Amino acid sequence: MESETVEIFSGQEDSYRIMLNNFAEAVLEGKPLIAPGMDGEKTLELINGAYMSAWLGEKVPLPVDRREYEKLLGDREEQEG
Look up the domain containing 50 and give its range: 15-80
User: How does pLDDT run across 27-40, given as a tens digit for each residue?
Assistant: 999 999 988 888 88
Burial of 59: CB neighbours in 10 Å, binned 0-12, 13-18, 19+: exposed
What is the pTM for the complete model shown? 0.62
Residue 20 lies in a domain: yes
Gap between the Cα atoms of 68 and 57, Å rounded: 14
Gap between the Cα atoms of 45 and 61, Å rounded: 11
pLDDT of residue 36: 87
Q: Give the number of domains in the chain.
A: 1
User: How does pLDDT run across 10-65, given as a tens digit for each residue?
Assistant: 666 687 888 889 999 999 999 999 888 888 899 999 999 999 999 999 999 999 99
Residue 6 lies in a domain: no
Residue 3 lies in a domain: no
Residue 8 lies in a domain: no
Q: How far, CA to CA in Å, does 40 sit from each of 29, 35, 45, 50?
A: 22, 8, 9, 15
Residue 25 lies in a domain: yes
pLDDT of residue 73: 94
Q: 7: pLDDT confidence band, cut at 50, 70 and 90?
A: low
Residue 9 lies in a domain: no
Residue 5 lies in a domain: no
Residue 45 lies in a domain: yes
